[in-house]
Chains A and B, each alone.
Chain A
Amino acid sequence: MSIFGKTVRKNKEAGFVRHGFLKDINKNKEFFLLLLPGLLCIFCFNYLPMGGLVIAFKRLNYADGVLGSPWVGLSNFKLLFRSPDLLLVTRNTILYNLVFIAFGATIPVALAIMMSQLRSKKMGRVYNSVMFFPYFLSWVVVSYVVYTLLQYDYGVFNRMLLPFFGKSPVNWYNEPKYWPFFLVFLNLWKSMGYSCVMYYAAIMGIDEELFEAAAIDGAGKFRQVMTITVPSITPIIIMLAILNIGKIFHSDFGLFFQTTMDSGALLPVTNVVDTFIFRSMRNSGDMGISSAASFFQSVVGFVLVLTANRIVKRIDESSALM
């Protein structure tokens, strides 16, 4: 009884002097000091912009700033949904992403499996290093690469490839019909090495004894791959695909903006959500449509990522983001 009374009094005193959280801060001050720079950064560049999403409901003017501008309700969204580009941009973004996901879940996997089967492990490493190279180039540099191929007068396509097939030169940057292929190829070209490394690491993690046992049972190499390798990396493939579906409203700005040289003639097949937002922000001084589109992308993207993550979690707890 007396002990109990004592503790109560002690706690009360402590609470009076230093309140719970503040006390903890003092106790953990070294940890908070370590957190501080990172916290400041994400506060400024991640959390403030989240709050800044309210500008989608405002008519922004620079004199009043982000907070002072007048509220306009949903009128920005009405403008957005009346915009003729919205449907096209959404269609492009989703279709490109679906194709990217489909290729990303097959080609690098097949290559990683082939790489793991090569007789010479050394050659495998060499191929891996070379295939990884495009990943290290910026999209601006890739746009130079594309330019050297497609330039009208001196480009490799018009100077070497087309004459070889007896065709006349094509004005590539003005012909939308070729670009879906170019963009899909470029995306694969730049990201292949990266995904190949990931899948290769997963394949190397498979217990070697499984293959030996299968070989003793008389399974050929193809059979071994189909019954051991593929099933053991399928979870990773599915997880990555689902997580990418969560990002289906986002697109790689550099791919769609830089490599196409911002060419207006190509817009029907190269305009995606991010380039649409950027262009409406840059070209028209008022932020109405772009802020509404940006809001839409963030919120829908958030819901999709959460859903995708929930599905992943249900299939395999350890592959979920958190």
Chain B
Amino acid sequence: MNLKNQISRKADLLFNIIFLIIAALCIYPILLIIGISFTDEDSILMFGYHVIPKVFSTYAYEYVVRNSGDILMAYGVTVITTAAGTVAGTLSVAMYAYAISRSGFKYRKLFTFIMFFTMLFNGGMVSWYMICSQVLHLQNTIWALILPMLTSAWNVMIMRTFFTTTIPEAVIESAKLDGASELKIFLRIVIPLTVPGIATIALFNTLSYWNDWWNALMLTTKPELSNLQYYLYKVINTMNISSSSSVGVLAQNSMTHETMPKESARMAICMLAIGPIILAYPFFQKYFVKGLTVGAVKG
């Protein structure tokens, strides 16, 4: 009998091999993009894309940095919208979730339903677009990239679960007896007690703002309002997918007459866009798993 109640060594080896293959499939494409971005352009034209550069070169990055006007602007838009969206979004989600988590609030059920209903029913793409552009006049404003994603019903529900499971009712009651107002309780007691939950929601928000291209695609046409993802989208859509004779956004923008390393430069831009995510990944991943497992427990 197997005392430790474990699978056999053979099975363990097989599982490990399967997971190694899957892990490789998940990582390989990113290594490929990194590899291409560091490959000499002529070497790409000769040998195609490889993870390990045949001829190493940082020329693509030098080129991108030298002609970085648009990219810097896109970076700026993404950083501003991500920062604003994360702070304002997390705050509005936490405030709403706190109110509907309090048993002393008479209309708790009604407002929970009002939020929840948006998860069941929506007006659809066309109606959303018409409201945003014709009624709210968000088109070609920076608000188009911030406001539509500010309050997600899903996050509110997760946050509510956080509040109901981590804050003992007695704590709030005793604060009330001491004469603290609801706002004061929320700011002074509830927020400090639920920092991990709030951090998780903040990370959810950061990721969705950083990765957003949808709002830019739907609601902006001005180049100066392109965020990073939308800029990437525009760059790749000038790439020629079947043969190699196109003039890209970058080439048009370059004032200089230096040759543009088309293939590697695009991958370098892509790397600049996902770089922060890769760097923050260990941190992100830890909190995400926490958030997911807590969100699965319904309050």
Interface members, chain B 168-188 (any A CB < 8 Å):
181-183, 186
Given contacts A114-B19, A277-B126, A305-B120, contact A48 B131 (CB under 8 A): yes
A193 to B: closest C-beta gap in Å: 7
B255 within 8 A of A: no
Residues of B contacting A52 in the complex (Cβ-Cβ under 8 angstroms): 123, 127-128, 130-131, 135
A148 touches B267 (CB 8 A): yes
Question: Smallest Cβ distance from A84 to chain B, in angstroms?
Answer: 20
A77 smallest CB distance to B (angstroms): 13
- Complex contact A138–B211 (CB within 8 A): yes
Are B182 and A31 in contact (CB-based, < 8 A)? yes
Asked if B56 is an interface residue, CB under 8 A from chain A, the answer is: no
The answer to whether B236 touches A140 (Cβ under 8 A) is: yes
Chain B 42-81 near chain A by CB (<8 Å), digits 1 or 0:
0011011100000000000000000000000000000000
What are the residues of chain B within 8 A of A197 when measuring CB–CB?
Answer: 288-289, 292-293
Minimum CB–CB distance from B191 to chain A (whole Å) comes to: 12
Question: Judging by beta carbons under 8 Å apart, are B1 and A62 in contact?
Answer: no
**Contacting residue for A28 out of B47, B107, B148, B239, CB 8 A:** B107
Bound-state CA distance A41–B95 (Å) is 13
Q: Would B213 and A145 count as touching, CB distance under 8 A? A: no
Q: How far is the CA of A28 from the CA of B150 in the complex (A)?
A: 24
**The residue from B1, B26, B102, B129 contacting A130, defined by CB atoms under 8 A apart:** B26
Q: For residue A51, which residue of chain B has the nearest CB?
A: B123
Interface code B114-131, partner A: CB below 8 Å = 1, 0 otherwise? Answer: 111011111111111111
The interface residues of chain A lying within 8 Å CB-to-CB of B124 are 49, 53, 277, 294-295, 297-298
A128–B181 alpha-carbon span in the complex (Å): 44
Bound CA span A49–B277, Å: 33
- Which residues of B lie under 8 Å from residue A50 when comparing CB positions? 121-123, 127
A115 located at the interface, meaning its Cβ lies under 8 Å from any Cβ of chain B in the complex: yes
Stretch touching chain B among A9-17, A97-105, A151-159, A176-184:
A151-159
Q: Is B148 in contact with A45, judged by CB distance below 8 angstroms?
A: yes
Number of residue pairs across A and B with beta carbons under 8 Å?
310
Chain A residue at smallest Cβ distance from B213 = A140
A114 to B14, CA, bound (A): 10
Q: Is the interface of B mostly helix, strand, loop or mixed?
A: helix
Tally of chain A residues near chain B (CB < 8 A): 110
Mask: chain A, 33-58; 1 = CB below 8 Å from B; 0 = not: 11101110110111111111101100
B1-37 residues at the A interface, CB under 8 angstroms: 1-2, 5-9, 11-12, 15-16, 18-19, 22-23, 25-27, 29-30, 32-33, 36
**Would you call B195 an interface residue if the criterion is a C-beta within 8 Å of the partner chain's C-beta atoms?**
no
CB pair B26 A189 closer than 8 Å = yes
Q: Is the CB of A35 within 8 A of B99?
A: yes
Residues A152 and B5 in contact, CB atoms below 8 Å apart: no
CB distance from A76 to the nearest CB of B (A): 10
Are A117 and B96 in touch, CB under 8 angstroms?
no
Check: A171 CB closer than 8 A to any chain B CB.
yes
Within 8 A of B (CB), among A129-154: 129-134, 136-141, 143-145, 147-154
Q: Which of A114, A133, A155 contacts B26 (CB 8 A)?
A: A133
For B116, the chain A residues whose CB sits under 8 A away are 321-322
Does the CB pair A42–B106 fall under 8 Å? no
Q: Which residues of B contact A144 (CB under 8 A)?
A: 33, 232, 236, 266-267, 270
**In whole Å, how far is A31's beta carbon from the nearest beta carbon of chain B?**
5
Residue of B nearest to A185 (CB): B25
Chain A residue contacts of B127, Cβ below 8 A: 49-50, 52-53, 55, 291, 294-295, 298
Among A49, A262, A302, the residue within 8 A (CB) of B120 is: A302
Chain B residues with CB below 8 A from A49, complex form: 122-124, 127-128, 130-131
B130: contacting residue among A46, A141, A274, A287, CB under 8 A: A287
Q: Mark A107-136, 1 if CB is under 8 A from B, else 0.
A: 000010011011100010011111111101
Q: Which of A32, A42, A287, A301 has the most CB of B within 10 A?
A: A42
C-alpha gap A140/B77 in the complex (Å)? 17
In contact, B96 and A39 (Cβ under 8 angstroms): yes
B256: interface (CB < 8 Å) = no
Which B residues are in CB contact (< 8 Å) with A155? 48-49
* Given A171-B242, A302-B121; A148-B233 close (CB under 8 Å): no
Interface contact A30-B267, CB-CB below 8 Å: no
Task: Find out whether the CB atom of B277 lies under 8 angstroms from the CB atom of A153.
Answer: no
Contact A145 B29 (CB under 8 A): yes
Inter-chain contact A37/B91, CB cutoff 8 Å: yes
Nearest Cβ on chain B to A227's Cβ, whole angstroms: 14
- Give the complex CA separation of A134 and B289 in angstroms: 14
Which residues of chain A come closer than 8 Å to B285, judged between CB atoms? 129, 132, 136
State whether B136 touches A44 (Cβ < 8 A): yes
CB distance from A249 to the nearest CB of B (A): 11
A residues in contact with B229, CB < 8 Å:
138, 140-141
Contact B207 A136 (CB under 8 A): yes
- Besides A65-B134, A144-B232, A154-B244, 13 new A-B residue pairs in contact (Cβ under 8 A), listed by A number: A28-B107, A34-B96, A34-B186, A38-B92, A45-B147, A46-B118, A47-B118, A117-B7, A136-B211, A145-B29, A189-B26, A262-B237, A305-B120
Cβ contacts A to B, 7 pairs, < 8 Å: A49-B127, A137-B274, A143-B236, A154-B244, A156-B48, A197-B288, A221-B11
7 cross-chain pairs, A with B, having the tightest CB-CB distances, nearest first? A49-B123, A159-B48, A38-B96, A52-B127, A294-B124, A138-B211, A145-B29
